[in-house]
Structure 1
Amino acid sequence: TGESFDWALAVEAKKFGLPIILSGGIGPDNIRDAVSAVKPFAVDVNSKVEIRPGKKSPELIKRLRDALNSLY
């Protein structure tokens, strides 16, 4: 849907000891905050890196990668 998910719920879910795959409205502008807050096993991105439905933007993907790389 491209709508942001309440990441606090994912933080609570981690208490069960299961790997978290974070998704929901994650893109280049908020992935650092999401990953820092939740520390997920994986992140699923889709619509926030598209220029139109089904068409990924190389520039948005690069920005997403750069944002993630800045965390490590």
Structure 2
Amino acid sequence: MITIKVDRGVCQGYGNCVLADSATFDLDDEGLATLKAEQVGEDRLAAVRRAAYDCPTEAIALIESDPT
């Protein structure tokens, strides 16, 4: 399981996360990133990592939990 955190104080609303993974990320009325899901499984890992990598302000943090 992967936990996702978005630092809205750092987010500048570029929307790269939504372009990379619209199933997990969205933009609110202020144009800042929001999460559709705070945790995703391994099947979404590649898309979530791409969204974090594509964020120019590094507002997305991924926390991978130990499966045991």
Given the two structures, how large is their TM-score scaled by the length of structure 2? 0.27
Higher helix share: 1
Larger Rg: 1
Higher strand share: 2
Higher relative contact order (CA 8 A, sep 6+): 2
Given the two structures, how large is their TM-score scaled by the length of structure 1? 0.27
